[in-house]
Amino acid sequence: MTEHIKIKQDDAILEIIFARPEKKNALSNAMYRAATEALGAAQSNQTIRVVLFGAEGDAFTAGNDLADFANAAAGKGEGLAAHDFIEALGRADKPIVAAVPGLAVGVGTTMLLHCDLVYLAETAKLSTPFVNLALVPEAASSMLLPARIGHVRAFAMFALGDGLSAAEAVALGLANRVLPKNAVLTAAREAARTLATRPLGAIVATKKLMRDRERILRRMDEEAAIFAQRLQTDEAREALKAFAERRQPDFTRLAS
């Protein structure tokens, strides 16, 4: 277990809170494992009707812990726990609500594509700069993001690292509402409480009809295989080394 994920059941709502604000809630392997376990347990626990993701501090999450990526790239450590979390999101049949208090980078944004109601703080910014790290999109976002916002916008997010403001994200259908930062969690909890009063069987059936789960899971696996290969490239090693050394990466001398 890790103190960087806080899990709390409030009546029928299971809250999974990212609690590593000093690192912008970057998701370590231990955090992924705790969140995956909670998400899985929520599916089988009859008393839980809604899952709510939130975060402490001023960021939702800065994405995967880049030190874990660097270890995986160097063949050190225990491998990456992100994929199990992503797959659990893909498999989840109960409704998921997200309260996003600020920056959502990488998986912070791609996981929102698997949430059913999303509330953003005015200061939130969504970005998926996988190519900046010489990596590829995950969480089926290579399929889901272009489907939601169109190819060219999604490509600019993936390849140029362009971000979306909270207002843009709502206008593009990626989130429900923009709220003052201190009202986001309250709004998400209210929505979760309302959902919890609805007939769960009908909600689960509706969510199932709205998503092609098998296709999503297949794409997640395809992405994960390419992601793992990309991590072993000189490009990714340079990107991760540059982040650790607090400098801009230089890819110009590397062949494709």
Q: Which parts of this chain interact with ligand COA (CB under 6 A)? A: 23-24, 26, 62-67, 103, 105-106, 129-130, 133
How far, in Å, CA of 9 to CA of 189, rounded? Answer: 12
Which of 23, 213 has the CB closer to ligand COA? 23
The distance of closest approach from Cβ of residue 23 to ligand COA in the complex, given in angstroms and rounded to an integer, is 4
Taking the complex as a whole, the smallest distance from the CB of residue 87 to ligand COA amounts, in Å, to: 17
Residue type at position 158: F
Query: Residue 14's closest CA among 177, 187, 206, 193?
Result: 193
DSSP H or E run through 11: none
CB-closest chain residue to ligand COA: 106
Q: Closer CB to ligand COA, residue 194 or residue 232?
A: 232
Q: Give the shortest CB-66-to-ligand COA separation in angstroms.
A: 4
User: How many angstroms separate the CA atoms of 21 and 228, rounded?
Assistant: 28
Q: Report, in Å, the least distance between residue 92 CB and ligand COA.
A: 21
Shorter beta-carbon distance to ligand COA: residue 90 or 129: 129
Residue with tokens 């990212």: 18
**CA pair distance 145, 154, nearest whole angstrom:** 6
Q: Which is nearer to ligand COA, 103 or 166 (CB)?
A: 103
- Minimum distance, C-beta of residue 131 to ligand COA, in the bound complex (Å): 10
Residue number with CB closer to ligand COA (53 or 130): 130
| Numbers of helices and strands, H then E, in the chain | 11, 10
Q: How far is the CB of 67 from ligand COA (least distance, A)?
A: 6
CA gap 74, 54 in Å, rounded? 32
Name which of 48 and 154 has its Cβ closer to ligand COA. 154
Q: How far is CA 81 from CA 61, 78, 96, 182, 194, in A?
A: 16, 8, 20, 31, 32
Tokens 């490239």, located at residue: 233
